[in-house]
């Protein structure tokens, strides 16, 4: 039987269509898998990159603090933390490496820096850091500072409009420029506040300030709030660590303790515009406001301005002693000279009458590292990691263009804490 040639042609077309459809399906699956792979790898690269960047910032901060401390115990702790930072950075660098990105020499440097930090930490406190070893630490800090800056700039270049994996995979290889630059050199991230000293305070979950005070009715609280903040809206309650009434105020909200009727937290939107007040003026406004709502003898101990908002840490002060555990954080607008945020939990938890120890040494006996320019000295009470308090002298000053706060046990003059001021483009000044 003779088959019509037209049928052959139709069958051929159908076969071709089936082959094309099958090929398209296969290609679709492959493309889909490739897309998934790129998304997964992009997430890995992004995570590793930011972990590396954060680690370099932490490491640079530890090494910089080493330059202002003279106490072996503090040096030992900082070096141990630097060693840990190097381990974290090393893992992240390994994840950022592939056949197109050779980070081998940089990874070797981080590993050697970690090893050197560990070696020095093991010597201390029995055997001090030598002058030669300190000079090496200074050079290493310079390299880490340069690396942190280079990584930050690389991220700005490759992260716009896509993931690091996509950009690097296309051959831009910005990070390789960081690695290459390192190969040619011989040398080397802080509360509503951005972050004044001890802004976390002591949170032992007992509101000492409210102890013995009477409970206030919701109607009384509403009346007080209206006189202070304006018309009050809907009401609710919370039975958290500090049982409170909750009210809406415009687009904001306020939380007031049932016992005593004190503002625990307050937040309202900030209106942008031209500045109508200075930082000094709004600090005075905030001080008066705190006194008006029942928080007396508060002094601004830290202030940082960013995008028209001033973040202020207020601490309780009595007889010239600053009590950092009794902290209230205030956010105030330069455009309206108006309080737009307040947190008083630390004060409510910690404020109580204290009797200070009298057997303390003179603040004049404190000696700082040569080259450290002292700007102020004062007696303070600071919180410890063990949920206790300690009487300490605070010495503020600068070294190598960085600002520091160093704390010494008032009874022994042993250095117990070093804090450094850093500048963040998004958050203003931080203390770490």
Local confidence pLDDT in tens for the 432 residues of the chain: 555 555 555 555 555 555 555 555 544 544 444 444 344 444 556 677 788 888 889 999 999 999 898 888 899 999 989 988 888 888 777 666 554 455 566 777 787 788 888 888 888 988 888 888 888 888 888 888 888 887 777 666 555 544 554 444 433 344 455 545 444 443 332 222 334 555 554 444 578 999 999 999 999 999 999 988 888 887 788 776 788 898 888 888 889 999 999 999 898 887 788 888 899 999 999 999 999 999 999 999 988 888 888 999 999 999 999 999 999 999 999 988 889 999 998 899 899 999 888 889 999 999 999 999 999 999 999 987 666 789 999 999 999 989 999 999 999 999 988 988 887 665 567 776
Question: Which residues, at least 6 apart from 241, have a Cβ–Cβ distance to it below 8 Å?
Answer: 205, 207
How confident is the model at residue 169, as a pLDDT?
41
How confident is the model at residue 424, as a pLDDT?
64
The CATH number of the domain covering residues in 363-431: 3.10.450
Going by the DSSP 8-state scheme, the letter that residue 278 receives in this structure is: -
* Torsion angles phi and psi, residue 278, rounded to 5: -95, 170
Q: Alpha carbon of 293 to those of 36, 95, 224, 233, 342: distances in Å?
A: 56, 53, 9, 19, 12
How confident is the model at residue 408, as a pLDDT?
94
Torsion from C-alpha of 97, 101, 102, 104, nearest 10 degrees: -20
Cβ contact 322:394 at 8 Å: yes
Angstrom distance (rounded) from CA 239 to CA 216: 15
How confident is the model at residue 216, as a pLDDT?
94
Angstrom distance (rounded) from CA 409 to CA 412: 5
């Amino acid at each position: 039987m003779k088959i019509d040639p037209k049928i052959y042609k139709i069958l051929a077309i159908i076969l071709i269509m089936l082959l094309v459809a099958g090929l398209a399906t296969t290609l679709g699956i492959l493309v889909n898998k490739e897309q998934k792979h790129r998304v997964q790898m992009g997430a890995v690269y992004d995570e590793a990159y930011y972990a590396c960047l954060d680690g370099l910032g932490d490491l640079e901060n530890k090494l910089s603090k080493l330059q202002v401390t003279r106490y072996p115990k503090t040096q030992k702790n900082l070096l141990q933390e630097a060693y840990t930072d190097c381990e974290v950075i090393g893992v992240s660098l390994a994840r950022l490496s592939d056949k197109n990105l050779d980070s081998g020499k940089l990874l070797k440097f981080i590993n050697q820096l970690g090893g050197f930090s560990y070696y020095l930490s093991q010597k201390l406190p029995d055997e001090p850091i030598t002058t030669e070893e300190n000079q090496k630490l200074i050079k290493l800090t310079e390299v880490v500072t340069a690396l942190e800056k280079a990584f930050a700039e690389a991220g700005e270049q490759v992260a716009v409009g896509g993931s690091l994996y996509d950009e690097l995979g296309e051959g831009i290889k910005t990070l390789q420029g960081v690695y290459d630059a390192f190969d040619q050199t011989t040398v080397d991230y802080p509360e509503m506040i951005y972050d004044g000293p001890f802004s976390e305070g002591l949170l032992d979950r007992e509101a000492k300030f409210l102890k013995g005070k009477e409970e206030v009715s919701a109607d009384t609280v509403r009346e007080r709030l209206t006189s202070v903040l304006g018309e009050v809206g809907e009401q609710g309650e919370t039975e958290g660590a500090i049982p409170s009434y909750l009210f809406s105020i415009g687009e904001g909200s306020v939380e007031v303790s049932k016992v005593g009727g004190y503002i625990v937290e307050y937040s309202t939107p900030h209106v942008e515009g031209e500045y109508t007040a200075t930082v000094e003026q709004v600090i005075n406004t905030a001080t008066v406001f705190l006194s008006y709502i029942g928080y007396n003898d508060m002094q601004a101990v830290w202030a940082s301005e960013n995008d028209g908002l001033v973040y202020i840490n207020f601490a309780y002060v009595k007889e010239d002693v600053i009590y950092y555990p009794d902290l209230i954080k205030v956010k105030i607008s330069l455009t309206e000279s108006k309080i737009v945020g307040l947190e008083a939990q630390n004060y409510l938890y910690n404020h109580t009458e204290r009797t200070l120890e009298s057997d303390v040494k003179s603040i004049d006996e404190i000696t700082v590292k040569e080259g450290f320019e002292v700007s102020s000295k004062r007696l303070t009470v600071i919180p410890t990691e063990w949920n206790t308090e300690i009487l300490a002298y605070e010495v503020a000053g600068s070294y190598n263009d960085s600002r520091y706060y160093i704390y010494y046990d008032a009874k022994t003059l042993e250095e117990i804490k070093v804090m450094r001021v850093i500048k963040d483009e998004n958050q203003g000044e931080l203390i770490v």
